[in-house]
Amino acid sequence: MAGLDPENWDALRALGHRMLDEMLDNVQNVASGPVWQPMPDTVRQGFRDAELPTQETSLTALYDQFSHSVTPYATGNRHPRFMGWVHGGGTPQGMLAELLAAGLNANLGGRDHAPIEVERMVVRWAATMLGFPETATGVLVTGSSMANFIAMITASRAVDGGLEMRSAGLAGRKLVGYAAQTAHGCIARAFDMAGLGTQALRRVPVDADFRMDMAALRQMVAADRAAGLEPFVVVGTAGTVDTGSIDPLTALADFAEAENLWFHVDGAFGAMARLSPHYAPALAGMERANSIAFDFHKWAQTPYDAGCVLVREPGRQAAAFAQSLAYLSREDRGLAAGAPWFCDLGPDLSRGFRALKVWFTLASFGTERLGGVVSQCCAVAQHLATRVQATPCLELLAPVTLNIVCFRVIAPDTDEDTLNGELVKDLQESGVAAPSTTIVHGKRAIRAAIVNHRTVEADADLMLDTLLDLAEKRLGHTLERQTA
């Protein structure tokens, strides 16, 4: 029997249908189980001891292992009370699209085939969604880390039209960029990976609302220019990861224009707020950016992974990334036609069919319903913030701009940083809810990011009530829960 196809297609088909049914059941009932549970040592050890298989294992046995050792111990981000970091909840529609995409096994580096047109379509839709011209270029990537990286490379190559720097490197040029202190760590990482060095990323102080201080930015750019450095980019964040704050995007667009800087927006999750009529005005100015990085896998609920970078001016992205290797040469017709290819717009040559799940997600729900999810998440966050403020033993640590609530339990005479850190672990291990932590104004905060389309106010209530129970247990006394 040649090749790897199954000997018994009927048996494989039956098992495949069972897998599909059981996973759909699992998604449908996700809220009835724990958010997360620690993986037992025996299960973990099973993976650590497993040796490279040299012989066949039946798919039935593998699926059994998956069902017992993987499914129950996943991150939990599909669950309505997962509130940690910024994770999307996924949808069964997106899951089915992944199944179809894997069946086609398409490679979207390039060439002339329908999957490429699907990606072109969703990139064009993304541009429309975010207020960019339809002529903007873009590419789907793993996530905003990669999208921000591609944008920083594109911005730096735009300084001299790309060509010289691509062959000669920086050659002594001292390019510097700017991002608020609250910018995501992947921006500094992009500077690192691009060879610019993290010191070339100037960290601009923020105001009391965690937004970039424009006066400070002005001074820093002027001082750098005076010192002979070459400012090239300013990064604004639409929805910071710690508190959900939004940098003054219109002021940044004006400033970048006046100073001839590339204006990039990291809108990893926040860019999606543009789909909510109520929250869209808060993002005004974002549509003037030279480039945007954002994720479909966070607030847009597409299954992991699906990030996207958009570049306003046609040609800029290709100027930064396109290569002309003979064996990749483009033809006028046949399968090697259809340039430019997606491999011209980023570092990846072989690429999967992420575009299908993005298409199915955007089209299954439409942007109005997805915008409704954004509004709903923000409403849950507002509800949670209101409850925090009405509870004497709790303290709200940052304004709630979008969907992130930073707060903590006040317990005088205890180490509050340790207490709050331990409480988050208690809560995660309880299986009831999973917020995460961050540092706000030097204080350890409990951070609830409402990103999941399944989360409702009752979930925020249960998270908070359980947290207070756990705090009382840990402290050994009752807490003042209601204002009189």
Ligand X SMILES: *Cc1c(COP(=O)(O)O)cnc(C)c1O
User: Is 143 an interacting residue with respect to ligand X (CB under 6 A)?
Assistant: yes
Smallest separation, CB 401 to ligand X (Å): 13
Question: Which distant-in-sequence residues (6+ apart) come within 8 Å of 313 by Cβ?
Answer: 136, 290
Smallest separation, CB 297 to ligand X (Å): 6
Q: Which of 262, 269, 321, 341 binds ligand X (CB under 6 A)?
A: 269
b/e string for 71-101 if b means 16 or more Cβ within 10 A? eeeeebbbbbbbbbbbbbbbbebbbbbbeeb
- CA gyration radius, the chain: 24
Question: For the window 103-142, what string marks contact with ligand X as x by the rule CB under 6 A?
Answer: ----------------------------------------
User: Is 151 an interacting residue with respect to ligand X (CB under 6 A)?
Assistant: no
Q: Which is nearer to ligand X, 240 or 428 (CB)?
A: 240
Distance CA 87, CA 379 (A): 18
User: Is 184 an interacting residue with respect to ligand X (CB under 6 A)?
Assistant: yes
Tokens in use for 27? Answer: 């998604």
Smallest separation, CB 242 to ligand X (Å): 9
Smallest separation, CB 371 to ligand X (Å): 19
User: Is 352 an interacting residue with respect to ligand X (CB under 6 A)?
Assistant: no
Smallest separation, CB 419 to ligand X (Å): 27
Distance CA 125, CA 134 (A): 8
Query: How would DSSP label each residue in 72-98?
Result: GGS--TTSTTB-STT-----HHHHHHH
User: Is 437 an interacting residue with respect to ligand X (CB under 6 A)?
Assistant: no
Q: Which is nearer to ligand X, 144 or 391 (CB)?
A: 144
Q: Which is nearer to ligand X, 290 or 391 (CB)?
A: 290
CB 280 within 8 A of CB 129: no
Q: Which of 119, 213, 266, 459 binds ligand X (CB under 6 A)?
A: 266
Q: Which is nearer to ligand X, 87 or 111 (CB)?
A: 87
> Nearest CA to 276 among 198, 206, 367?
367
Q: Which of 77, 91, 137, 145 binds ligand X (CB under 6 A)?
A: 145
Crossing angle, helix 249-259 and helix 214-226, to 10 degrees? Answer: 20
Query: How would DSSP label each residue in 120-150?
Result: HHHHHHHHHHTT--TT-EEEEES-HHHHHHH
Pairing state of beta strands 307-311 and 443-449?
Answer: unpaired
User: Is 186 an interacting residue with respect to ligand X (CB under 6 A)?
Assistant: yes
User: Is 210 an interacting residue with respect to ligand X (CB under 6 A)?
Assistant: no
Q: Which is nearer to ligand X, 67 or 142 (CB)?
A: 142
Q: How far is CA 192 from the centre of its chain?
A: 20
User: Is 144 an interacting residue with respect to ligand X (CB under 6 A)?
Assistant: yes
User: Is 295 an interacting residue with respect to ligand X (CB under 6 A)?
Assistant: yes
User: Is 245 an interacting residue with respect to ligand X (CB under 6 A)?
Assistant: no
Name the one range near ligand X by CB under 6 A: 238-246, 334-342, 358-366, 427-435.
Answer: 238-246
CB 234 within 8 A of CB 263: yes
Distance CA 283, CA 266 (A): 12
User: Is 86 an interacting residue with respect to ligand X (CB under 6 A)?
Assistant: yes
User: Is 241 an interacting residue with respect to ligand X (CB under 6 A)?
Assistant: yes
Q: Which is nearer to ligand X, 297 or 312 (CB)?
A: 297
Q: Which is nearer to ligand X, 145 or 317 (CB)?
A: 145
CB 329 within 8 A of CB 148: no
Question: For the window 305-324, what string marks contact with ligand X as x by the rule CB under 6 A?
Answer: --x-----------------
Name the one range near ligand X by CB under 6 A: 26-34, 99-107, 263-271, 314-322.
Answer: 263-271
Name the one range near ligand X by CB under 6 A: 18-26, 237-245, 345-353, 354-362.
Answer: 237-245
φ, ψ at 56 (rounded to 5°): -75, 145
Long-range contacts formed by 436-441: CB under 8 A, 24+ apart: 436/83, 436/84, 436/85, 438/242, 438/243, 438/406, 439/242, 440/242, 440/243, 440/397, 440/398, 440/406, 441/397
Distance CA 141, CA 354 (A): 8
Smallest separation, CB 305 to ligand X (Å): 7
Smallest separation, CB 66 to ligand X (Å): 25
Smallest separation, CB 240 to ligand X (Å): 6
Q: Which of 175, 252, 268, 289 binds ligand X (CB under 6 A)?
A: 268
> Nearest CA to 110 among 319, 418, 330, 316?
330
CB 285 within 8 A of CB 176: no
Smallest separation, CB 85 to ligand X (Å): 7
b/e string for 253-281 if b means 16 or more Cβ within 10 A? bebbeeeebbbbbbbbbbbbbbbbeebee
- Applying CB under 6 A, which residues contact ligand X? 86, 143-145, 184, 186, 237, 239-241, 266, 268-269, 295, 307
